[in-house]
């Protein structure tokens, strides 16, 4: 039940602790309650159709070495591998999630060291992601479902391009522009959550998340190219980046051929009220009552 102009792809982005997961989940529920077929993929989903969560890329030589060292796991590895960029993609997260049980820690670590995000050079990463998004866009063109994605369009590439490699934002804009063009048949919309109190939002996220999250984000932000180039140190260095991140992300989004709506409400209930208003406008048939839809002249699709 949606109009021909309704979006078929909603991508939820925003600052740390802004409520991306909650908002994406609520959007999915809102659509479902109105009998609109929808699918939701949150950050970290190993079955993600547009991203590479817990997926390694191996050269042909790397692949041969892997199955030589782990012959007992060769059938499982061969069952999930797929060719890409003159090598193989191996979604080791899918293996962990399958009925075959956990991988040995050493095998998991070996695959993780070659992950698409943390173990591949930027040029290969760009090619792999661009191909992934093109395939995703093509697969959804004939689907009636609305897809909701969290984080993968902007946040994850920002971490790879800017934090890991400290490239100019224009390089990321070029990369994302090609992806946005491929997504146009799906009438994509970016919901960008930007609470006004950045530091308060971050502090709240720290209280709600396990200590390991904060312990991990410090070396990730300050210990890679972006942080080293700016002399960032410790938690204060992380805060420096997180304060700058919303402005950088909004600057990037403004240059992309994709519709973006920024939600700047600081109170969660007000933020969701704003999102619901937008959803009602984007899916105008969804709020038509069953009685009205059954009347002569009523519209359904």
> Reading across the β-sheet that carries 38-41, which strands appear in turn?
38-41, 146-150, 9-14, 188-193, 259-263
pTM, entire model: 0.91
- Residues 81 and 153 both lie in one domain: no
With beta carbons less than 8 A apart as the criterion, state whether 94 and 127 touch: no
The mean pLDDT value for 135-149 works out to 95
Residues 144 and 212 in one domain: yes
Residue 267 in this model has a pLDDT that exceeds 90: no
- Residues 108 and 195 reside in one and the same domain: no
pLDDT over 90, % of the chain: 80
Q: What is the pLDDT of residue 157?
A: 96
Percent pLDDT > 70 in the chain is 94
Structural domain total, the chain? 2
- Of 95, 112, 129, which one is at a domain's C-terminal end? 112
Q: What is the pLDDT of residue 290?
A: 42
How high is the mean pLDDT of the chain?
91
pLDDT attached to residue 101: 67
Confidence of residue 295 (pLDDT cuts 50, 70, 90): very low
Residues 19 and 62 both lie in one domain: no
CA nearest to 282, candidates 196, 186, 189, 212: 189
- 43 and 153 together in one domain: yes
Could you give the maximum distance between any two Cα atoms of the chain, in Å?
A: 69
Residues 159 and 272 in one domain: yes
Structural domain including 228 reads: 9-49+137-167+184-293
45-68 pLDDT, tens digit per residue, is 999 999 999 999 999 999 999 999
Residue 178 lies in a domain: no
Question: 153 and 13, same structural domain?
Answer: yes
60 with 145, same domain: the answer is: no
Q: Are 156 and 41 in contact (CB under 8 A)?
A: no
Element (H, E) at 13: strand 9-14
> 43 and 192, same structural domain?
yes
Q: Looking at the structure, do residues 192 and 283 belong to the same domain, yes or no? A: yes
**Same-domain pairing of 67 and 199:** no
| 176 inside domain | no
Give the Cα separation of 92 and 88 in Å (integer): 12
Residue 175 lies in a domain: no
Q: Mind giving me the DSSP string for 130-155?
A: HHHHHHHHHHHTT---EEEEESTTTH
The answer as to whether 124 is a domain residue is no
Q: How far is CA 38 from the centre of its chain?
A: 17
Has residue 69 got a pLDDT over 60?
A: yes
Q: What is the mean pLDDT of residues 5-22?
A: 94
Does 264 lie in the same domain as 189?
A: yes
Residue 174 lies in a domain: no
């Amino acid at each position: 039940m949606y109009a021909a102009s309704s979006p078929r792809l909603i991508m939820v982005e925003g600052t740390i602790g802004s409520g991306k997961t909650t908002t994406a989940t609520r959007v999915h529920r809102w659509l479902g309650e109105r009998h609109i077929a929808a699918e939701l993929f949150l950050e970290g989903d190993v079955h993600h159709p547009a991203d590479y969560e817990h997926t390694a890329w191996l050269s042909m030589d790397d692949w041969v070495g892997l199955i030589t060292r782990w012959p007992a796991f060769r059938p499982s590895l061969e069952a999930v591998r797929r060719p890409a960029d003159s090598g193989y993609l191996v979604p080791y997260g899918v293996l962990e999630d399958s009925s075959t049980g956990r991988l040995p820690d050493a095998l998991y670590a070996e695959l993780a060291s070659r992950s698409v995000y943390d173990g591949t050079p930027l040029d290969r990463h760009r090619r792999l992601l661009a191909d992934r998004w093109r395939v995703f866009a093509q697969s959804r063109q004939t689907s009636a479902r609305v897809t909701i994605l969290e984080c993968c369009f902007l946040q994850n590439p920002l971490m790879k391009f800017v934090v890991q490699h400290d490239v100019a934002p224009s390089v990321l804009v070029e990369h994302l522009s090609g992806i946005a063009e491929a997504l146009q048949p799906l009438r994509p919309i970016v919901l960008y959550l930007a609470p006004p109190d950045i530091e308060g939002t971050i502090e709240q996220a720290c209280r709600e998340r396990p200590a390991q999250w904060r312990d991990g984000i410090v070396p990730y932000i300050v210990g890679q190219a972006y942080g080293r180039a700016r002399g960032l140190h410790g938690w204060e260095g992380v805060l420096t980046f997180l304060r700058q991140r919303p402005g950088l992300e909004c600057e990037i989004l403004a240059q992309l051929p994709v519709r973006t709506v920024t939600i700047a409400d600081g109170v969660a209930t007000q933020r969701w009220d704003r999102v619901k208003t937008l959803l009602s406008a984007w899916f105008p048939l969804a709020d038509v009552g069953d009685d009205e839809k059954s009347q002569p002249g009523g519209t359904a699709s």
